[in-house]
Amino acid sequence: MAFASSETTLFGKYELGKLLGCGAFAKVYHARDIKDGRSVAIKIINKTRINTNPALKSNIKREISIMRRLRHPHIVKLDEVLATKTKIYFVMEFVKGGELFAKIAKDGKFSEEKSRKIFQQLISAVRYCHSRGVYHRDLKPENLLIDENGDLKVSDFGLSALTEQVQQDGLLHTLCGTPSYVAPDILTKKGYDGAKVDIWTCGIILFVLNAGYLPFHDSNLMGMYQKICNGQFKCPKWMSSDLKRFLSRLLDTNPITRITIEEIIKDPWFKKGLKRVKFCE
């Protein structure tokens, strides 16, 4: 990978490389740690958008302190946070394999066995965060990365409160771009339990892994929201009955009766062949 000249050296520590991805309020670049040549990913957030909103500012501070404390094999590690007057830089572990769903778009749906492994890793990460009071609330394809060994790394964890706020303020409309993953409990606008919302989204992700397409779709947005609220989805016939039953527990429209994380890890479909994932406490 080519690295640019010293003009793109950050803080005398990192050489900026190519653009990896663009979020709604940030750009992420590949970079190299000058000290040891290690690859990192640097997310650059423009402060000007944040400075006008004190709530957003304090949210960022809170979330950074949470992110710094998250240490899990399936969560992208935040190495350090640097800042100038105008920008914030998140220096993170570089995840080589790209976005999980780009893989599905390219190679098609996963086998049940392969998707089980990824799902076990996802739940391991989500359970770890929930036990620390961190709710992602924005688990979506772009935030699920795959490393060179084919293992999952959840990114953007902890910044969810921030992105959520941005949406509420209506500052960044593009962030509303993943309505297919939204839980019915959010759509009803009566307040929601962050843990249950994350579990719903995990259900959508599991469906897509095994089906290769989304469970709720409609050419019309309101039509799709209606299907989400009614829990109207159909599993393809190649799915095992154990998986169909498990999905119906994850995609239960009632957050009260929806499966909990502790129930997930005891589920027969989930548990099958479980050996590689460590459930960190």
Angle (CA) 16 141 15, round 5°: 5
Q: Is 155 in the site for ligand ADP (CB under 6 A)?
A: yes
Interface mask toward ligand ADP for 83-112; x: CB under 6 A = ---------xxxx---x-------------
Q: Pick from 59, 124, 143, 210: which binds ligand ADP (CB under 6 A)?
A: 143
Q: How is residue 106 written in tokens?
A: 């390219």
Residues 120 and 66: their CA atoms lie apart, in Å, by: 23
| Maximum alpha-carbon separation in the chain | 58
Q: Is 193 in the site for ligand ADP (CB under 6 A)?
A: no
Q: State the residue number with the nearest CB to ligand ADP.
A: 23
Sign of the CA dihedral running 175, 181, 187, 192: negative
Angle between helices 194-211 and 112-130 (to 10 degrees): 170
> Please, which residue, 29 or 246, has the CB nearer to ligand ADP?
29
> Please, which residue, 36 or 113, has the CB nearer to ligand ADP?
36
CB of 30 to ligand ADP, least distance (A): 7
196 is in an annotated binding site: no
Neighbours of 214 (CB within 10 A): 13
**Residues with a known catalytic role:** 138
Q: Is 166 in the site for ligand ADP (CB under 6 A)?
A: no
Q: Is 28 in the site for ligand ADP (CB under 6 A)?
A: yes
Identify the bridge partners of residue 272 per DSSP, sorted by sequence position: none
Distances in Å between the Cα of 147 and the Cα atoms of 93, 96, 98, 105, 126 are: 10, 5, 7, 17, 18
> What are the φ and ψ backbone dihedral angles of 139, each rounded to 5 degrees?
-70, 115
Half-sphere exposure of 66 (CA within 13 A, CB side): 23
CB of 245 to Mg ion, least distance (A): 31
Q: Is 142 in the site for ligand ADP (CB under 6 A)?
A: yes
| Residue pair 40/92 in contact by the 8 Å Cβ criterion | yes
Q: Is 255 in the site for ligand ADP (CB under 6 A)?
A: no
Q: Is 146 in the site for ligand ADP (CB under 6 A)?
A: no
Q: Pick from 10, 26, 50, 205: which binds ligand ADP (CB under 6 A)?
A: 26
Q: Pick from 25, 110, 157, 207: which binds ligand ADP (CB under 6 A)?
A: 25
Radius of gyration of the chain (CA): 19
CB of 160 to ligand ADP, least distance (A): 9
Residues numbered 234-253 forming contacts with ligand ADP, rule: CB under 6 A: none
CB of 177 to ligand ADP, least distance (A): 10
Residues 272 and 217: their CA atoms lie apart, in Å, by: 30
The binding site for ATP consists of 43
Residues near ligand ADP, by CB under 6 A:
20-21, 23-26, 28, 41, 43, 76, 92-95, 99, 142-143, 145, 155-156, 159
